């Protein structure tokens, strides 16, 4: 699906049970699922909801899936629970089977596309996500995920068209701006990445992943002390210390890539792969697909 240049804002769609997840991407997605998105009973109103523990939650939905494997609601919740637990391949299998039985179910297609992206099947994910909405009725969340997927395929210019279209529908949406910032990170346009992520960070509805993304980009620009201040902002001491450690670990990935780039003894092909992979992996860790 190519972004439509003329899109009218429409009501915020129901949140698909996903978190990437990505990114990106993402993806990403790319990300584990927020368990808070998987709520409510599946049948009788008096039935208790799923347990909070991820493993217990998978068991909760597994039994219902075995009883009704073609029920789209059950498959959606089971696949989402599997993604939350990191069982990506199994989530793909469950959601693939469900979409075969329900080929026009948009939410299932969206969840299946996200699961494929989680699993690294980026081109297939993009194709499936293209069936989850239409130019006449676009979903800004899916557009953002598609952008994250395209970034993972090194198609950055195309990815930014999808982000631009999503932002026409939801102006200044922080999750989309965050993915756009990571897109600039992937193409090593750090000033643009910082500018975009600061826009996202300034939004009152931005979540903590936006702060992490901004801190990482600022750190990659060499302003490590400022990056640590951003990372720790508003956090209690113990969480601030843990966040700083996490930031340093992320920045170490870039330093490893830079060291590989300077290694003139390594074969050219090996050097290029060593440099490119950590940046893409980094963006993948930081991305938000939902």
CA 240, CA 58: separation in Å to the nearest integer? 32
Look at residue 234 in the predicted model and tell me its pLDDT.
81
CA 177, CA 156: separation in Å to the nearest integer? 14
For the residues 139-150, what does the mean pLDDT come to? 96
Distance in Å from the first CA to the final CA of the chain:
18
User: Highest mean pLDDT: which of 19-23, 227-231, 263-267?
Assistant: 227-231
Look at residue 46 in the predicted model and tell me its pLDDT.
34
User: Three-state SS across 158-200?
Assistant: HHHHHHHHHHHHCCCCHHHHHHHHHHHHHCCCHHHHHHHHHHH
pLDDT exceeds cutoff 50 at 6:
no
For the residues 86-110, what does the mean pLDDT come to? 95
Burial letters for 176-196: b for 16+ Cβ neighbours within 10 Å, e otherwise? Answer: bbbbbbbbbbbbeebebbbeb
Residues 6+ apart with CB under 8 A from 177: 167, 196, 197, 199, 200, 203, 210
pLDDT exceeds cutoff 70 at 108:
yes
Tell me if 241 sits within 8 A of 228, measured CB to CB: no
Look at residue 252 in the predicted model and tell me its pLDDT.
84
Binned at pLDDT 50, 70 and 90, residue 55 comes out as: confident
Look at residue 17 in the predicted model and tell me its pLDDT.
22
Look at residue 53 in the predicted model and tell me its pLDDT.
75
Binned at pLDDT 50, 70 and 90, residue 248 comes out as: confident
User: Highest mean pLDDT: which of 45-54, 122-131, 203-212?
Assistant: 122-131
Tell me if 284 sits within 8 A of 31, measured CB to CB: no
Residues 6+ apart with CB under 8 A from 28: 20, 21, 22, 117, 118, 145, 148, 149, 151, 152, 283, 284, 287, 288, 289
Binned at pLDDT 50, 70 and 90, residue 283 comes out as: low
CA 55, CA 200: separation in Å to the nearest integer? 33
Look at residue 32 in the predicted model and tell me its pLDDT.
29
Look at residue 71 in the predicted model and tell me its pLDDT.
93
**pTM of the full predicted structure?**
0.73
For the residues 78-101, what does the mean pLDDT come to? 93
**pLDDT, tens digit (0-9, with 9 covering 90-100), for 13-54:** 222 222 222 333 333 333 322 322 221 222 233 344 555 677
Complete DSSP assignment for 242-287 = HHHHHHHHHHHHHHHHHHHHH-TTS-HHHHHHHHHHHHHHHHHHH-
pLDDT exceeds cutoff 70 at 121:
yes
Burial of 55 (0-12, 13-18, 19+ CB in 10 A): exposed
For the residues 175-184, what does the mean pLDDT come to? 95
pLDDT exceeds cutoff 60 at 151:
yes
CA 63, CA 250: separation in Å to the nearest integer? 39
Binned at pLDDT 50, 70 and 90, residue 219 comes out as: very high
For the residues 114-126, what does the mean pLDDT come to? 94
CA 197, CA 184: separation in Å to the nearest integer? 10
Among 28-42, 107-121, 242-256, which is the least confidently predicted range?
28-42
- DSSP-derived letter for residue 15 is P
Tell me if 32 sits within 8 A of 289, measured CB to CB: no
Cβ atoms within 10 A of the Cβ of 25, count? Answer: 37
Name the residue among 211, 278, 232 with its Cα closest to residue 251: 278
CA 265, CA 150: separation in Å to the nearest integer? 33
Bridge partners, residue 23, by sequence: 25
Name the residue among 29, 211, 43 with its Cα closest to residue 112: 29
Look at residue 181 in the predicted model and tell me its pLDDT.
96
**Taking all residues of the chain, what is their mean pLDDT, rounded to a whole number?**
77
Look at residue 10 in the predicted model and tell me its pLDDT.
29
Look at residue 243 in the predicted model and tell me its pLDDT.
86
């Amino acid at each position: 699906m190519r972004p439509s240049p003329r899109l009218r804002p429409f009501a915020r769609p129901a949140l698909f049970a996903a978190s990437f997840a990505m990114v990106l991407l993402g993806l990403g997605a790319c990300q584990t699922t927020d368990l808070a998105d998987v709520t409510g009973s599946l049948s009788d109103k008096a039935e208790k909801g799923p347990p909070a523990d991820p493993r217990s939650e998978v068991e909760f939905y597994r039994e219902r899936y075995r009883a009704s494997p073609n029920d789209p609601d059950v498959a959606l919740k089971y696949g989402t629970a599997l993604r939350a637990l990191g069982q990506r391949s199994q989530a793909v299998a469950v959601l693939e089977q469900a979409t075969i039985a329900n080929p026009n179910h948009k939410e299932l297609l969206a969840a299946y596309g996200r699961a494929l992206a989680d699993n690294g099947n980026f081109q297939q994910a993009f194709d499936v996500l293209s069936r989850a909405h239409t130019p006449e009725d676009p979903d800004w969340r899916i557009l953002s995920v598609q952008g994250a997927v395209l970034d993972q395929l090194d198609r950055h210019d195309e990815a930014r068209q999808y982000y631009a279209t999503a932002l026409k529908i939801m102006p200044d949406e922080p999750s989309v701006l965050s993915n756009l910032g990571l897109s600039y990170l992937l193409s090593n346009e750090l000033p643009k990445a910082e500018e975009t992520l600061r826009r996202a960070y300034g939004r009152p509805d931005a979540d903590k992943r936006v702060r992490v993304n901004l801190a990482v980009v600022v750190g990659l620009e060499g302003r490590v002390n400022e990056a640590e201040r951003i990372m720790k902002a508003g956090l209690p001491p113990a969480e601030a210390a843990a966040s700083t450690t996490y930031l340093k670990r992320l920045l170490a990935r870039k330093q490893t890539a830079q060291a590989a780039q300077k290694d003139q003894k390594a074969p050219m092909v090996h050097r290029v792969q060593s440099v490119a992979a950590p940046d893409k992996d980094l963006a993948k860790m930081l991305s938000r697909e939902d």
